[in-house]
Amino acid sequence: MATLNRRQLLAAGAALGVAGTSFSLPVLAQSGRKSVTLALPRDVQPPFDPLNRLSFPEGNLLRVVLQGLIAFKPGSFEWELSAAKRIEQVSDTVIEFELKPGLRFHGGFGELTADDVKFSFERAIKPGADGKPVLYSTDFAALEEVEVTGTHSGRIRLKTPAPALWQVALPDISGLIISRKAYEAGAYRADQPTKVIGTGPYLLKEWRPNERVVLQANPEFQGPKPGFEEIILRPVRDSKTAELAFRADELQFTAIEPANAADIAKIPGAKILKQDSINFVWIGVNVEKPPFNDPRVRRAIRLAIDVDQVIEGAYNGAVGRAYGPVAPGLLGNWKDAPRHARDVAAAKKLLAEAGVPALRAKLTLLNKPAYQNAGIIVQAQLAEAGITLDLDVQEGGSFWSAGNGEAGKNLELSLQRFGGKADPSFQLQWFTASQIGSWNWQRWNSPEYDALFAKAGGVTDPAERARLYIEAQKLIDESAAFIWLTHEVNVYALKDWLTPGILPNGDDQLYNRFSPA
């Protein structure tokens, strides 16, 4: 079993990237394998639009159908050129780019030009047809405009310096380039989900809801030929079902529960890939809803929970404990974050002071085994402090909309898990006031935090950025609305003839870099 810790993983990123690249070169003819079936943790949901995507399954799909100016290398957060022939930061607020000529959108939508880049990026700073900003507008918050200087060249002008742009936007999903003509013809919208027009290595051939997504190699793609002619993505929500499908060779790649890794490694022809993750799992408390609007109640809940025991029981001790949203090894990780220990007596005292000695609360959580086990353990722990916790276990569709809009006002506690990226601005953006009603399920509103977050985004000195992000995390900690559990660990089962293309956070996968080994 290959085991990498986070530091080794990040340090060895470049090497892995090179390895991944070399394996993804056209070896198809040698192996004879033309198709591979990969597991999705849930079905994709339209719209398949880079700036209005729901989450990473949609993002991974878009990543291979569309192209950005640059793209991540597998196994690392380093980037390489994609649609751009050249890209350069000429000053703190200007990035120049030149496109490769002859990149053609499939479906007869013509050549990819600098005007498409302008259209794609400036959508992030302009309200949509409904008057609302796109969902991922913060990724391009610093963008002023894209100036077209030629058919294939342009300048990205920024309002302020934005070092995070090179991590969370340009090489990632939000930086994917769509066709202006195709968009105006109705592509990338929820009502025409399979009309996703791009210049990437794959075409979205078919999407059968809750059954499969089929990606077919794009014959017009001008980059390295992808490893497989066809990739089938099958949504399998239950990890145990995915394991059984892997055993039956119905899947050749799937995420598995860490505790089952040793058992699955014994299957002939199987191998295990294990990597520390930079995702983050936590219990959030809605600070608007009484009695949780009282900080004493939130502190009491935090004091009543023994996180180490939760990790031991829910994850079989296979993951480390988190002390904040930014994982160790990343810029902005708060090494000296407080290690909140359990103190039931203090929790009871705080509840009594708050006037709610017999508190009843509801924890909303996803119906994954690890989260349900965590919920049961927290339920037992809170009971010892006099808090009756009801578990509201929901399936993916209803869970991920539980905090949105008006419904979010009724949330009390929620067990959440978000994916991480290399730049801390991605992890920390969800707790700004603008995310209330979207992803800030705690409904925590701190102008001071928002100001620190905004200021850090424009700082180019890494040490100063790290300091500002740590200051922001101190405010998060003071709110007592967040009980950090773990950064998780990513464990995958895959066939020994398969080389995967995975980024260090595990959620982000480069399907075009999956190849027969």
Structural contact between residues 262 and 66, judged by C-beta atoms closer than 8 angstroms: no
Residue in 398, 401, 438, 460 binding other proteins, rule: CB under 8 A: 398
216 binds other proteins (CB under 8 A): no
Least Cα distance to 344 among 303, 314, 400, 395 occurs for 303
Segment contacting other proteins (CB under 8 A): 305-313, 473-481, 488-496, 499-507?
Answer: 305-313
Which one, 242 or 494, has the nearer CB to other proteins? 242
Shortest Å distance, C-beta 494 to other proteins: 18
Spatial separation of the C-alpha atoms in residues 257 and 261, rounded to whole Å: 7
Shortest Å distance, C-beta 399 to other proteins: 12
257 binds other proteins (CB under 8 A): yes
Least Cα distance to 125 among 111, 140, 135 occurs for 140
392 binds other proteins (CB under 8 A): yes
Segment contacting other proteins (CB under 8 A): 64-72, 151-159, 253-261, 437-445?
Answer: 253-261
Amino acid in the structure at residue 183:
Y
372 binds other proteins (CB under 8 A): yes
Alpha helices in 305-366 (DSSP H): 307-315, 344-354
Shortest Å distance, C-beta 391 to other proteins: 6
Residue in 98, 122, 312, 343 binding other proteins, rule: CB under 8 A: 312
Residue in 45, 222, 379, 434 binding other proteins, rule: CB under 8 A: 379
Q: Write out the two tokens for 97.
A: 């780019």
Which one, 256 or 481, has the nearer CB to other proteins? 256
Residue in 88, 184, 206, 263 binding other proteins, rule: CB under 8 A: 263
Which one, 187 or 382, has the nearer CB to other proteins? 382
Segment contacting other proteins (CB under 8 A): 82-90, 256-264, 403-411, 486-494?
Answer: 256-264
395 binds other proteins (CB under 8 A): yes
Backbone angles phi, psi at 353, to 5 degrees: -65, -35
239 binds other proteins (CB under 8 A): yes
**How many CB atoms within 10 Å of residue 458?**
19
Spatial separation of the C-alpha atoms in residues 127 and 125, rounded to whole Å: 7
Segment contacting other proteins (CB under 8 A): 137-145, 157-165, 211-219, 385-393?
Answer: 385-393
240 binds other proteins (CB under 8 A): yes
Backbone angles phi, psi at 104, to 5 degrees: -115, 135
Spatial separation of the C-alpha atoms in residues 9 and 422, rounded to whole Å: 12
Structural contact between residues 54 and 190, judged by C-beta atoms closer than 8 angstroms: no
* Alpha carbon distances (Å) from 70 to 84, 91, 169, 508: 6, 18, 10, 15
Beta strands in 396-487, from DSSP E residues, in sequence order: 413-418, 482-486
Cα-only R_g, the chain: 23
Residues forming the site for other proteins (CB under 8 A): 239-240, 257, 259-260, 263, 309, 312-313, 316, 367, 369, 372-373, 375-377, 379-380, 390-393, 395, 398
